[in-house]
Amino acid sequence: MARVFITGSSDGLGRGAAQLLVEQGHSVVLHARNEQRAREAMAAVPGAETAVVGDLSSIAQTRSVAEQVNKLGSLDAVIHNAGVGYREPRRDDTEDGLPHVFAVNTLAPYILTALIHKPQRLVYLSSGLHQSGDASLKDLAWKERSWRGQQAYSDTKLHDVILAFAIARLWPDVFSNALEPGWVPTKMGGAGATDDLQQGYETQAWLAVSEDTGAKVTGEYFFHMRTRKPNPAARDQRKQDMLLEACERFSGVKLAGS
């Protein structure tokens, strides 16, 4: 039995992965951004161990989530599933003065990776839109560019793959991978989405716990349990270091080994 923590597991892909892992006999720690959603998550995933609470748009609350998780003891895997979408029509700043989509999709997984005691496996949720992310890694906080919601989202999904591959390089004792679920009918994807929601969360769970040789790899990018070619920038060590350094500046949190 594995012990798995899943961010953003009160609905959508995260809840689907949690339900599947519980059904398979694993211990699952849920996450929600507030107490009400945490109660709803626990009700929706009977058998889950517990739920931790914190809004990942806040650096302070993200640090609190890591502290709550560490108090629970060691983990076998962390699925960085939480994310916000590309329909933000204007720049929405967080309490830390950062774009909301960057804070949740990029900075939060970085902070949690750095602060949660190192598990055996890390899984990062990306998107096919990462292929059109800005590989220059300039102006991450959108201080100079005119706001474009879909571009901002695409950038953060590229960041997630870069982060996964950076961890795979720096922490060779950890399986660290990224995946895209496809265009799936979640609140983010919308009812008209055409890809298979189940295969999206099954791939998350598979990478987190499976003993299949295909899942016990590191530094790979997946779609429906099969490897897929990522944006080449994600494998650029210089880009990886640039992103880690920027995230450290924004958060004040240093990643071990960086």
201 belongs to the catalytic site:
no
**Tens digit of pLDDT for each residue in 117-137?**
999 999 999 999 999 999 999
**How far is Cα 65 from Cα 18, in angstroms, rounded to an integer?**
18
Query: What's the confidence (pLDDT) of residue 194?
Result: 53
**Tens digit of pLDDT for each residue in 177-227?**
999 997 655 656 555 655 667 788 999 999 999 999 999 999 999 999 999
Task: Enumerate residue ranges in the chain where pLDDT < 50.
Answer: none
**How far is Cα 214 from Cα 50, in angstroms, rounded to an integer?**
30
| Catalytic-role residue among 110, 153, 201, 221 | 153
Q: Which of 212, 214, 207 is nearest to 124 (CA)?
A: 207
Query: What's the confidence (pLDDT) of residue 88?
Result: 76
Domains of the chain: which residue ranges? 3-251
| Catalytic-role residue among 110, 124, 157, 239 | 157
From its phi and psi, is residue 154 left (phi > 0), alpha (psi between -120 and 50) or beta? alpha
Report the chain's mean pLDDT, rounded to a whole number.
Answer: 94
Query: What's the confidence (pLDDT) of residue 85?
Result: 85
Query: What's the confidence (pLDDT) of residue 99?
Result: 97
Query: What's the confidence (pLDDT) of residue 108?
Result: 98
Contacts of 72 (CB under 8 A, 6+ apart): 29, 49, 50, 52
Residue 214 per-residue DSSP state: T
Query: What's the confidence (pLDDT) of residue 11?
Result: 86
Class of domain 3-251: alpha beta
Q: What is the pTM of this model?
A: 0.95
157 belongs to the catalytic site:
yes
